[in-house]
Chains A and B, each alone.
Chain A
Amino acid sequence: MNRILHGRLTGLAVLGAIIAVLPVFLTNNFHLDVAILAGFNAVVCVGLNLLIGYAGQISLGHAGFFGIGAYASGVLVGVYGWPPVAALLAGAAFVGVLAFVVAKPILRLKGHYLAMATLGIGIIVSIVLRTESGLTGGPDGMMVEPFKIFGVELYGEKAWYWVVGVLLFGVVWLSLNLIDSPMGRALRAVHGSEVAAEVVGVDTARFKVMVFVLSAVFASVAGSLFAHYAGLITPAKADFFKSIELVTMVVFGGMASTFGAVVGAVVLTLLPQALTVFQDYQQIVLGAILMATMVFMPKGLLPTLAGLLPSRRRA
């Protein structure tokens, strides 16, 4: 019984230590900026991993929820003058309701049909954002006001780093808690065998909907904060490629591994930065790396590395 508990606490401690120490090595704002972007992606991926990795339900449209969160903040704060926190909560509530409404019929679908449906939702969201230019600024995007809370403006990479760091730590903590709970086991059981879960009393439809909503809300919150941080948002943040990027991070890091999702998000956020040295070959290299890792490490980075170690914990 101590195995999971053990892995949970050491993992959290390591994550906390890394977040705390990292700024020492991030000597300029560009580095901090990349770290912050990685953090935002990681927050979304930890949530998405609950859905894909643990509950076994694919979503190719999660960037849509990220985008709705981002634009809710941009529009409500910028156009209607809402306080940022209220806008963030409203965005999250809206995404929660939207995800709840679509989840029930959609999650009856399996495999590729579910992939198609979620992909469709994501694309529809991004088309709406691109088209309703009166509110959203259209394809060029819109400027977003800085984040203010109690009259204090969140300013500069340093401050944002800590906000995102704490957010990520919190989200990882919540995710680890959830996985090691009756509901978390029910979710994993849905992945393992839906019918077996049903016959011991798990209302599989209900849990699938709950985890879908939860992961969508995580994405929305991250989107809201990202919008304030970046100051400029475009519909590209909600489109098919962003969705694919998120799923890739989860699978790359290792499905059904919370820390894997974090690692995947960090590595794949850094990778394009590192690949800029390849200039024209950037896409080729990125595509090749994606294919190669998935072909040679179908379980993802972290589980594969963990498997190389003598049998120890699976975070």
Chain B
Amino acid sequence: MLAELLQYLLSGLTIGAIYALAGLGFSIIYNASHVINFAQGEFIMIGGMASATLTASGVPLPLAILIGCGGAMLVGVAVAKFAVERARKASTVTLIIITIGASIFLRGVAELVWGKDFKRLDAFSGETPIQLFGASLQPQSLWVMGCAGVLIVAIGLFFNKTLTGKAMLATSHNRLAAQLVGIDVKRVVLASFALSAALGAVGGAVVAPITFSYTEMGIMLGLKGFTAAVLGGLGHGPGAVAGGLIVGVAEALGAGYLSSAYKDAVAFVIILAVLLFMPNGLFGKRGTERV
């Protein structure tokens, strides 16, 4: 019984870590530009596809991940520069459609480059499960959780300890004031896209051995990431991480105890339930409208 529960928790935390990274990506971009970047899932896909295909053609794994990461960052900056930045004054819906356009575009390019079939990436350190109180843990899960953990801590340090990070935070609190004290707000937006893309791409690479890579892998992962970000309260970094883990674990429990067919619905049922009572997510600020 307990072993079963532990098993579900472990697999939930594994996928939850990916949702957390994606959710963090949503939040970082939202903070810098108030844009919901529906192409976030495509960054994950790029990371997964690049590392799988590059290693298959003989590139060492760390280098493959690095290349995938760099590629995703370039793509992220391009999306920010050529689409989002130009439409700054557009309405929320318009911006949503722009990023969705970007995601369709990127999937199209990915299909052209990599084809439509599933790509396999070997687990980083073998596939001998680790036995843990009766549950078995894939070593790759450790990689996923470990990498996500390190990245999340690094992001936290970046925003709280470095000047660039603080400048980005300041921009999210008050764009105009940030501009007045000399922060280059445009570069902050570009940096936020690059950072989110890197997070997504690493997530995609480490999760690829578990899920396989294919050009449409980013769709659901992206949407779940959005759910994680909203669940935690848009723009709230730690909230997004918590949201991702909650969604991942709830999904695993739901699939295990209720119905595996409705696994994908769990995240959305949770978010609806939470928004009913907390319209700004779990940790979001409750603002009083100024009139």
Contacts and interface: CB of A to CB of B under 8 A. Distances in A.
Interface string B147-185: 000000000000000000000000000000000000000
A290 B97 contact: yes
Interface in B105-137: 105-109, 111-112
Main secondary structure of the interface of B (DSSP, over half): helix
A124 B272 CA distance: 10
A233 to B, nearest CB: 19
Interface in B10-66: 30, 36
Interface stretch (B82-90, B138-146, B194-202, B204-212): B82-90
A279 B289 CA distance: 50
Given A283-B107, A286-B108, A290-B104, A113 B279 contact: yes
Given A113-B234, A121-B272, A281-B112, A287 B89 contact: no
B108 A131 contact: no
Contacts of B93: 52, 58, 247, 251, 255
B251 to A, nearest CB: 12
A163 interface: no
B265 interface: yes
A166 interface: no
Contacts of B106: 287
B1 interface: no
B268 A294 contact: no
A261 to B, nearest CB: 13
A284 B271 CA distance: 32
A295 B86 contact: yes
B262 A195 contact: no
Contact of A283 (B105, B219, B259): B105
A116 B105 contact: no
Contacts of B30: 112
A251 B227 contact: no
A247 B271 CA distance: 22
B83 A109 contact: no
Contacts of A281: 108, 112
B223 interface: yes
A110 B87 CA distance: 21
Contact of B92 (A58, A127, A128, A289): A58
Interface string A62-78: 00000000000000000
A19 interface: no
Interface of A: 52, 58, 60, 105-106, 108-113, 115-117, 119-121, 123-124, 127-128, 131, 195, 240, 244, 247-248, 251-252, 255, 280-291, 294-295, 298
Nearest to A108: B279
Contacts of A116: 226-227, 230, 271, 275
Interface of B: 30, 36, 82-83, 86-87, 89-98, 100-109, 111-112, 219, 223, 226-227, 230, 234, 259, 261-262, 264-265, 268-269, 271-272, 275-276, 279-281, 289, 291
Going nearest first, the 8 A-B pairs with the smallest beta carbon separation are A287-B105, A283-B108, A290-B101, A287-B104, A120-B268, A284-B108, A291-B101, A298-B90
B271 A117 contact: yes
Given A127-B262, A251-B97, A287-B102, A115 B86 contact: no
A81 B221 CA distance: 40
A142 to B, nearest CB: 17
Contacts of B272: 106, 117, 120-121, 124
Contacts of B280: 113
A283 B94 CA distance: 19
Contact of A127 (B36, B83, B264): B264
B240 to A, nearest CB: 13
Contacts of A52: 93
B112 A287 contact: no
B95 to A, nearest CB: 8
Contacts of B259: 131
Nearest to A290: B101
A283 B105 CA distance: 6
B252 to A, nearest CB: 17
A286 B104 contact: yes
Given A113-B280, A123-B223, A283-B111, A290 B230 contact: no
14 contacts: A109-B275, A110-B279, A112-B234, A195-B289, A244-B97, A251-B93, A255-B93, A280-B111, A290-B98, A291-B98, A294-B87, A298-B89, A298-B91, A298-B94
Contact of B87 (A128, A247, A298): A298
Contacts of B94: 251, 294, 298
B121 to A, nearest CB: 24
Contacts of A295: 82-83, 86-87, 98
A300 B155 CA distance: 38
B98 to A, nearest CB: 5
A103 to B, nearest CB: 12
Contact of A120 (B83, B87, B271): B271
A117 B107 CA distance: 25
Interface centre among B90, B95, B105, B281 (most CB of A within 10 A): B105
A123 B268 contact: yes
B21 to A, nearest CB: 18
Contact of B97 (A117, A285, A294): A294
Contacts of A120: 227, 268-269, 271-272
